[in-house]
Amino acid sequence: MKTPLNYTGNKSRLMPQFIEHFPKQVGIFVDLFCGGATVGLSIDAKKVIFIDNNLNVINLLKHLSKYDFKTLISRLEVLIEKYNLSYSAKYGYEKYRKELDKRDNNGFKGCNTIGYYQLRSDFNLIENKNSKEALDLLYLLVVYAFNNDMRFNKSGEFNLPVGKTDLNKNNIEKLKNYIERVKKINCIFVCGDFREEKIKKILLEADFIYADPPYLIGNAVYNETSNWTEETEKEFLNLLEILSKNNKKFAVSNVLSKVGVYNKPLSDWILFNRLDLHLNVIDIDYHYRGASYNKINRDAKEREVLIKNF
C-alpha cells in the first residue's frame, strides 16, 4: 500500500518482508509512529489504530479519509487553477513541454515556482491548521514540495521549497487507493506521544503493535525537530519491556548500525533482554534477499532490522 504522504522511510517496499514475521490473525493492530500509515493500511486486522505525535500528519490523514475521491479532486482542481500550478495527471506533459525543455532536469519546478510559494504563504497564514481549507492546501503543498516531503520550522510554518513534481497520475492513484482502502477498514487516527497515559492505555489494549520510531542514528527530514535522544530511546525501550510483561506482541523497525555509527542503547538492550523478552532480530533487505539472524554484528556498515518479541 502506497499512501498519499511520501514519508521518508515509509515501509511500502518492505511490507512483503514484514508480513512474513507478523501474526497471521490480528484483532486490534496499532501502527505506532505511523507516519504515512503504510503499514497499518497493509494489514488485515479487525481494527487498526494509527498513532503519531505529529498533529499535521494525523490531521491530514484524517482529512483525506473523510471524503470520496471525486469530491476531494474537484476541490483540489479549483486550487490548482487558482495558483496556476501544473496538473499533468489531467493535461499530460505536452501542455508544459516548452517550459519543461527550458528547465533541464528541474521537472515542473519552473512551472510552479510562483504559484507554489503563494500557496505556501497562504497556508502559513491560516490560523486554524485543522480547517478543511488548510488541509486541502497542506496536501497540495506535499504534492508540489521538494521531494514530496512535509516539514515545518520551529514556528510551525511549512518551509520546504518547490519541488519537481506535480499532481501526476502516480499521486492520483495513491490518493484514490488510500481513500478506498481507509473506507474499507475499521480504523481511527490518534495524535499522541508514546509516553502519554492515553497512548499507553491504547497499546495495552491492543493485540499487536508495530512501531517505527525516529531512528537514533537516522537523519530523515521528519526527524529534524523530533528531539529523539538517547534518553528518549531508553524511554521507548522501557515501554517495550512493559508491553512484553503484559503479554503484548510487538515488532519494531530500527537501525543498529550505519556507516560506522552504532545505536549502542538499542544494541545493548537487545543483548541484555533477548532471552527474557524472547526477542528475535530480523535483518531487513531492501532488495528482498534478507534472512533472519539472531547475532548482533557490530562490524556491519549498515543494518536495518525488525525486532519482535515472539
**Rg of the chain on CA atoms, in Å:** 21
Buried b (16+ CB within 10 A) or exposed e, 15-29: bebbeeebeeebebb
DSSP 295: S
Domain boundaries, the chain: 12-53+192-308, 66-176
From 3.40.50.300, 1.10.760.10, 3.60.21.10, 1.10.1020.10, which CATH number describes the 66-176 domain? 1.10.1020.10
Whole-angstrom distance between the N-terminal and C-terminal Cα of the chain? Answer: 25
- Amino acid identity at 142: V
CB of 303 within 8 A of CB of 255?
A: yes
**Cα–Cα distance for residue pair 133/257, rounded to 1 Å:** 43
DSSP assignment of 178-221, as one string? Answer: HHHHHHHS-EEEEE--TTSHHHHHHHHT-SEEEE-PPPTT---G
Which stretches of the chain drop beneath a pLDDT of 50? 221-223, 288-295, 298-299
Phi and psi torsions of 232, nearest 5°? -65, -40
pLDDT for res 13: 83
Instruction: Indicate the Cα dihedral angle 298, 302, 308, 310, nearest 10°.
Output: -60
Q: What is the pLDDT of residue 291?
A: 37
pLDDT at 9: 67
pLDDT of residue 223: 45
- Is the Cβ–Cβ distance between 215 and 174 less than 8 Å? no
Q: C-alpha grid cell for residue 232?
A: 528518549
Is 12-53+192-308's fold the same as 66-176's?
Answer: no
Question: 12-53+192-308 has which CATH code?
Answer: 3.40.50.150
pLDDT digits (tens, 9 = 90+) for 193-216: 999 999 999 999 999 999 999 999
298: cell is: 557490530
- SS3 category, 19: helix
Distance, CA of 36 to chain centre: 3
